[in-house]
């Protein structure tokens, strides 16, 4: 008899960074619907509190992930409330819309600090209690632009940071695989969010996405639900170090 591994997350505690907007809100809702207890982190506490009320029993923690003291406070608060951390969705991030020859070095450095350095800090803090228990799943939010160049607009710092996050995912997976902590990444193509609002408001940009994507369209928000739950749950218990592209065939060219 064959039994499909469940996608349920009952009795699991999930920390979601970037949970005040866009895909982070969607991820929090999906993890909650699957039974997880949520810790919501972002800078905009009013939005976190509204989402926490909607979910019923979530812990909102205002946190700038580029500030290590605030990251430490986030995980202290999570452990104080729940006593464990089982899942991390490392989702905080931004982009830098500059041509490479024009971007100020500070803007480039700021994006690296947020999308890569802070992602490492958050993963490090999450991993410590996971490693102590011998189990956990870390899901980094990468991008197809961490695997290839040539997006719709020039974002050199974003591309560099996501490329770094892709290989950081592999490195952390190798370091922690024998100690029960899995580390994988989602690499979406174009999905609508606050970060991509300008693209989705531009008819010509959407036409270009259609031409660049074999499936002929951008992604729909619900099309990340299954990949997220797969990586968060025991359905992927033998999966680590993987970059799961959710891209309508974008990378298959």
Nearest to 130 by CA among 170, 71, 80, 176: 176
CA angle at 177 for the pair 176 and 180, rounded to the nearest 5°: 85
Task: Please say if the pLDDT value at position 105 is more than 80.
Answer: yes
Task: Please say if the pLDDT value at position 169 is more than 90.
Answer: yes
Q: How sure is the predictor about 4, in pLDDT bands with cuts at 50, 70 and 90?
A: low
Inter-residue contact 130 to 86 (CB < 8 Å)? yes
Question: Quick one: DSSP state of residue 188?
Answer: E
Give the model confidence (pLDDT) of 24-47 as tens digits: 999 999 999 999 999 999 999 999
Strand, helix or coil for residue 248: coil
Percent of the chain with pLDDT over 70: 98
Q: How far is CA 49 from the centre of its chain?
A: 20
pLDDT at 212: 93
pTM for the whole structure: 0.96
Better-predicted residue by pLDDT, 196 or 210: 210
Q: List helix spans (H) across 83-155.
A: 105-112, 118-133
Q: How sure is the predictor about 144, in pLDDT bands with cuts at 50, 70 and 90?
A: very high
Q: How sure is the predictor about 251, in pLDDT bands with cuts at 50, 70 and 90?
A: very high
What are 253's two structure tokens? 């060219």
Task: Please say if the pLDDT value at position 128 is more than 90.
Answer: yes
Q: How sure is the predictor about 199, in pLDDT bands with cuts at 50, 70 and 90?
A: confident
When the pLDDT of each residue in the chain is averaged and rounded to a whole number, the result is 95
Among 158, 190, 238, 250, the one annotated catalytic: 158
For 55-66, b where at least 16 C-beta lie within 10 A, e where not — what string?
A: beebbbbbbbbb
Give the model confidence (pLDDT) of 45-59 as tens digits: 999 999 999 999 899
pLDDT at 3: 61
pLDDT at 2: 61
Give the model confidence (pLDDT) of 173-182 as tens digits: 999 999 999 9
Active site residue 82: no
Q: Which CATH class is domain 13-245?
A: alpha beta
For the chain, the domains span 13-245
Task: Please say if the pLDDT value at position 136 is more than 90.
Answer: yes
Mean pLDDT of 114-127: 98
Q: How sure is the predictor about 197, in pLDDT bands with cuts at 50, 70 and 90?
A: confident
């Amino acid at each position: 008899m064959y039994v499909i591994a469940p996608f349920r997350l009952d009795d699991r505690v999930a920390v979601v960074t970037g949970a005040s907007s866009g895909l982070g809100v969607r991820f929090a809702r999906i993890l909650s619907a699957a039974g997880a207890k949520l810790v919501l982190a972002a800078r905009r506490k009013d939005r976190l509190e509204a989402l926490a009320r909607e979910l019923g029993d979530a812990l909102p923690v205002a946190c700038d992930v580029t500030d290590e003291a605030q990251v430490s406070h986030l995980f202290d608060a999570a452990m104080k409330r729940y006593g464990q951390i089982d899942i991390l969705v490392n989702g905080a991030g931004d982009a830098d819309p500059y041509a490479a020859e024009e971007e100020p070095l500070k803007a480039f450095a700021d994006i690296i600090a947020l999308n890569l350095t802070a992602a490492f800090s958050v993963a490090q803090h999450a991993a410590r209690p996971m490693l102590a228990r011998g189990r956990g799943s870390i899901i980094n939010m990468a991008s197809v632009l961490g695997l290839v160049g040539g997006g719709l607009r020039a974002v050199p710092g974003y591309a560099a940071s996501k490329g770094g996050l892709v290989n950081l995912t592999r490195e952390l997976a190798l370091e922690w695989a024998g100690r029960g902590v899995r580390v994988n990444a989602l690499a979406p193509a174009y999905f609508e969010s606050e970060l991509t609002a300008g693209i989705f408001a531009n008819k010509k940009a959407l036409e270009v996405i259609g031409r660049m994507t074999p499936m002929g369209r951008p992604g729909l928000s619900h099309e990340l639900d299954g990949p997220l739950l797969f990586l968060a749950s025991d359905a992927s218990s033998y999966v680590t170090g993987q970059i799961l592209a959710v891209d309508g065939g974008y990378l298959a060219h």
